[in-house]
Structure 1
Amino acid sequence: MHLPTDLSSYVRVLKLASTPSWEEFSQIAKIAGAGILLVGLLGFLIFALMSFVPGGP
């Protein structure tokens, strides 16, 4: 690991990075929230299905 080279590449990436606009942020938040809800719903459905199957928890 060559420290000065690594630091310069990190600084270059940080210079290229920019903060998202409010519209972009809200769209990303909606998509992430929908994904979290979908995974939670899928987990709940699997749990409910396994509760009705004989030998479930």
Structure 2
Amino acid sequence: MDLGVTLPSTNINEYIRVLKLARKPTREEFNMIAKVSMAGIGIIGSIGFVIYALLTELPKMF
């Protein structure tokens, strides 16, 4: 039975090529990534809290 799932490549040359292209981010790039990540976590957490609050408080009203 074919599930359409393929195994990751085991060709080590592909991994070496990616590592050669990678570089360490500058401090400015790192700070920007950190800020965006924290904002995303905060937004997702806020949405989750609002949904939780609505689902726990609305049933008490009725």
Q: TM-score range by the shorter chain?
A: 0.7 to 0.9
TM-score, normalised by the number of residues in structure 1: 0.81
Report the alpha carbon displacement of residue 36 of structure 1 after superposing the two structures with TM.
0.2
Q: RCO higher in 1 or 2 (8 Å CA, sep ≥ 6)?
A: 1
Find the aligned partners of 2:58 and 2:12 in 1 and give their Cα distance: 56
Q: Which residue of 2 aligns with 1:48?
A: 53
- Mapping of 1:1-57 within 5 angstroms? 3=10, 6-54=11-59
Unaligned segments of structure 1, at least 5 residues: none
Amino acid of the structure 2 residue aligned with 1:53: L
Unaligned segments of structure 2, at least 5 residues: 1-6
Q: Which runs of 4+ in 1 moved over 3 A?
A: none
User: What RMSD over aligned residues (CA atoms) do the two structures have, in Å?
Assistant: 1.8
Matched residues, percent identical?
A: 45
